[in-house]
Amino acid sequence: MDLSPLQQERYQYKPKLPALLKNRPTEIKAVLGQPTSAYADADELKKLFKNNFGAPIALFEPGNNPDAAAVRNVGVILSGGQAPGGHNVIAGLFDGIKAANADSKLFGFLGGPSGIVDDQAVEITGEMMDAYRNTGGFDMIGSGRTKLETVEQFDKCIEVCQRRSISAIVIIGGDDSNTNAAVLAEYFAEKQTGISVIGCPKTIDGDLKNEYIETSFGFDTATKTYAELIGNIERDADSAKKYWHFIKLMGRSASHIALECALQTQPNFCIISEEVEKEQKTLMQIAKEIADIVITRACDGKTFGVGLIPEGLIEFIPEMKTLIAELNDLMAQNESEFSALPDFASQTKWLKQHFSKESAAAFDSLPEGIAKQLLLDRDPHGNVQVSLIETEKLLSEMVKKAIKARGEKVKFSALHHFFGYEGRCAFPSNFDADYCYSLGYNASLLIANNLSGYLSSVRNLAAPADEWIAGGIPLTMMMNMEQRHGALKPVIRKALVDLDAAPFQAFAANRERWARETCYTYPGAIQYYGPASVCDLTTKTLACEAKKN
């Protein structure tokens, strides 16, 4: 296979580990703390997770653990969308179980969770693993979005694990994938299978986050990739001086990506969905605020600019949030009836008969193209696919109308961009290469300590890797009950942008100046070689949080 020079060099990179994890696995033990609860709905979750709810937080310390040396067969699953560093999680897991006992085996289930149900797997050998170290993508074993949620699926998982003598499963995924992991761990415990389930926190969206999961893997690489592109566009805008660039950034719900990219590049505006929701801003209010920035800059002789828009914005705008919630419920309860409607006109008529008065008015106010996008195929959870809604075009059109309504003769030419797939499979940054490898190695130690229903946790991430703290947190600790497909389901709660936290406050303190002045910064490409001050940089988000603490 032909390799680029960078590929060849990255294969040789040796990821850094927390100091403790450099000890032999038999010399590392898990110390368990006090019982935990959940974010919310503890009583309901306790009934659903009788075996695993309330498990204590685990912290690794030096100590004797002879059980670590046992021969183990472990299965690994990549679940959900791609994120940079997934291969290094597998590498850390592989090296961890082999360090404990060279006869242990790692099986990669192919194509995501469906691989374990269909018993499609490959044994990962040293030669195979070495071909994927420090590389982007999930192509080593593939990923998928199959949900593990039925008794039939769970029983099939048990059957496959027993046939292959697998005693542990590691699921690498986001909030929904790790919800699957929690449910599977509970079922295995109920059936007394002895099979443990460990999760690893993956999502470039950054919304799998708490005190013990300071960031999800892939966020660092993805935001640095997007920030490079934004910086390039800013340089172009400042050179041409004639376009306003409306840039939509991936992030299904939370605005962490948009906020991080704003801190890295200092655009003229960045909308934070969580702030929009808190202040109950309408679409028109948002458009008018952007129009004010456009007009002010034009008066200063600057008929150009750059703005960032989170992918999930539309769900945080009050009238749109209500509309989408009603639409999701209607689709879940009347899917076959709605699917039989022949065209957009008949769909619109049917919806208006079932919508509340407010939602009918909101739907009517949308351009037809945007309204049609709301009715496209649902995501795997039965919800509107917000990534298909061209919010950036909707906003620029509304800004244009707002400027015209004020009678201002301002030159306003908009260009549109959506950065999503560009960042999901990038070569992982040194930070993500190190963090992901540590998460995988750490997962092997959770297994070696006979724990199940835990999420691999590596924290103190703003410090050098030697000082990172390794352990695990119970998956149920991160859960609450949410409406899915018209019914309440246990899920890991998405962590949204905290408006009181240091990263948002740093942004809020500077955005007025960034709006009027041209303060663009240009992060450039991710650097893999050179001084640590350049190559091992954490995100601005982690740096702000560490400084605050």
Q: Report the alpha-carbon angle 83-30-191, nearest 5.
A: 75
Phi, then psi, of 136 in degrees rounded to 5: -80, 180
Catalytic residue among 95, 175, 176, 205: 205
Tokens of 258: 């948009």
Average pLDDT over residues 500-524: 98
Q: pLDDT digit string (tens) for 357-372? A: 989 988 888 878 888 8
Asked if residue 304 lies in contact with residue 238, where contact means CB atoms within 8 angstroms, the answer is: yes
pLDDT digits (tens, 9 = 90+) for 185-205: 999 999 999 999 999 999 999
Q: Whole-angstrom Cα distance, residue 539 to residue 204? A: 12
205 assigned to active site: yes
Go through the domains of the chain in sequence order and give each one's CATH number: 5-36+43-218+428-474 (3.40.50.450), 221-423+500-548 (3.40.50.460)
Q: How far apart are CA 454 and CA 53, in angstroms?
A: 11
Burial of 56 (0-12, 13-18, 19+ CB in 10 A): middle
CA dist 118 → 270, 315, 454 (Å): 45, 36, 25
pLDDT for the residue 163: 97
- Give me the phi and psi of 49, to 5 degrees please: -120, 65
- The predicted-structure confidence for 255-309, as pLDDT tens digits, reads as follows 999 999 999 999 999 999 999 999 999 999 999 999 999 999 999 999 999 999 9
Q: How confident is the model at residue 381 (pLDDT cuts 50, 70, 90)?
A: low
- Looking at 383-498, list the stretches that DSSP marks H as alpha helix, in order from N- to C-terminal side: 391-405, 421-424, 430-448
